Amino acid sequence: MIPVTKPFLPPIEEYTKYLDGIWQRQWLTNMGPLASDLEMKLKNYLDVKHLLFVTNGTVALQMAIKALDLKGEIITTPFSFVATTSSIVWEGCKPVFVDIDKNTLNIDASKIEEAITDNTTAILATHVYGNPCDVHKIEEIAKRHGLKVIYDGAHAFGVKLNGKSIFEYGDISVCSLHATKLYHSGEGGLIVTKDPELLKKLALIRNFGFSGPESFAELGINGKNSEFHAAMGLTNLNFIDAIHKKRKEITEYYNSKLSGLKAVRPVWHKQGTLNYAYYPLVFDSEELMLKCIEKLKTNEIGTRRYFYPSLANTLPYLEPADFDVTDSISRKVLCLPLYFDLSLEEVDLICRLLLRVQNN
């Protein structure tokens, strides 16, 4: 069986060396020394000004919306994981969808302005598969209309744009450290902001709004993470370069073997670095893609239609709407297996099966 993804697990002895300290301190959560150490190490590794380690990427999105005091309408993309939209609704705001660009698969910045109303307060855009959005155009639009900008960078760990972290763009950027991500802490998330005052507010929100043992400064939530998750994050950070190198090797091997397949990869931002988080393909037709899925499934190879279907006509708590590009892309996009333990021999098998379907 070849799954579509598999969590990276470091040598167990590398992880367990942190456990003695946890047992001795008996400090399991509430921002213990390992969680604080991970925050500092990630801040340095990503080269960002301010960073918080939180429960997960979804809570990070909810905290971001709350910290920016957003109300009314938030412009977003229908081509993303459900948490992007559900977090907006969860925080009492209304998601307003804008179609995606057919090449990058990110929100089409040229269509954002026509969706802005008097009730619009923010733009929440996703760096799909880690591919940077048109952040400069989005920033121009946001400044012109007095809007806040949040980036869902769940897939974008380690990506740089014009030499600086993709998380440095917008008012707040968030990232997921879920087990399936290229870098993970088992469960976890990050919140990044350039604004020190906003960081203070987010830190208060993360801990129920406590400003002291018996005082509160904000409406808060339990957004903290445990020492066990921090230990996994610290351990995995030691292997991030090896993870990146292996995923790059696998991606380039896919590229070389699948050059004749009737499918294309998203067009990456010219000034953006790749982190090789996923291997998505947009097939020429849904029919060909479905045949490929079935062939791979017969050979016990997993794939994922990521993202399908469109959020705009799927969620029971929203009125359905159609968006031409999103609807078309979501029906034809497929992510192939990509993870650290995947061998080139397995990639070779996957590619042979895909090409066999096409050529029969």
The residue segments making up the domain with residue 261 are 240-359
Say if residue 360's pLDDT is above 90. Answer: no
Q: What is the CATH number of the domain that holds 301?
A: 3.90.1150.10
178 and 120, same structural domain? yes
pLDDT more than 90, % of the chain = 98
Confidence of residue 53 (pLDDT cuts 50, 70, 90): very high
pLDDT at residue 89, as a whole number: 98
pLDDT at residue 193, as a whole number: 98
74 and 203, same structural domain? yes
Q: What is the CATH number of the domain that holds 228?
A: 3.40.640.10
pLDDT at residue 301, as a whole number: 98
Q: At what angle do helices 196-206 and 57-67 cross, to 10 degrees?
A: 120
pLDDT at residue 39, as a whole number: 98
Domain count, the chain: 2
pLDDT one-digit tens code per residue, 304-329: 999 999 999 999 999 999 999 999 99
Confidence of residue 214 (pLDDT cuts 50, 70, 90): confident
Say if residue 293's pLDDT is above 90. Answer: yes
What sign results for the dihedral spanned by CA atoms 243, 244, 247, 252?
negative
pLDDT at residue 126, as a whole number: 98
Write phi, then psi, for 321 (nearest 5 degrees): -145, 155
Confidence of residue 359 (pLDDT cuts 50, 70, 90): confident
Residue 129, classified by CB atoms within 10 Å of its CB into exposed (0-12), middle (13-18) or buried (19+), is buried
Helices in 134-284 by DSSP H: which ranges? 135-145, 196-206, 227-237, 240-257
Last residue of a domain, one of 237, 271, 304: 237
Mean pLDDT of the chain: 97
Question: What's 162's DSSP letter?
Answer: T
Say if residue 2's pLDDT is above 90. Answer: yes
Q: 146 — alpha (psi -120 to 50), left (phi > 0) or beta?
A: left
pLDDT one-digit tens code per residue, 99-154: 999 999 999 999 999 999 999 999 999 999 999 999 999 999 999 999 999 999 99
Confidence of residue 207 (pLDDT cuts 50, 70, 90): very high
Mean pLDDT computed over 54-64: 98
Mean pLDDT computed over 6-14: 97
pLDDT one-digit tens code per residue, 231-264: 999 999 999 999 999 999 999 999 999 999 999 9
Last residue of a domain, one of 237, 252, 274: 237
Identify whether 309 is preceded by a cis peptide bond (ω within 30 of 0): yes
Confidence of residue 202 (pLDDT cuts 50, 70, 90): very high
pLDDT at residue 335, as a whole number: 98
309 and 283, same structural domain? yes
**8 Å CB contact between 327 and 28:** no
189 and 100, same structural domain? yes
pLDDT more than 70, % of the chain = 100
pLDDT one-digit tens code per residue, 177-197: 999 999 999 999 999 999 999
Last residue of a domain, one of 237, 254, 281: 237
pLDDT one-digit tens code per residue, 67-99: 999 999 999 999 999 999 999 999 999 999 999
Please list the residues that pair with 207 across neighbouring strands. Answer: 222
Q: What burial letters (b/e) apply to 175-195, b meaning 16+ CB within 10 Å? A: bbbbbebbbbbbbbbbbbbbe
85 and 197, same structural domain? yes
298 and 207, same structural domain? no
159 and 188, same structural domain? yes
Q: 253 — alpha (psi -120 to 50), left (phi > 0) or beta?
A: alpha
197 and 250, same structural domain? no
- pTM, 2 dp: 0.97
Of all helices (H) and strands (E), which one includes residue 35? helix 33-46
145 and 95, same structural domain? yes
Rounded to whole angstroms, what are the CA distances from 93 to 9, 67, 78, 147, 316? 38, 13, 16, 14, 16
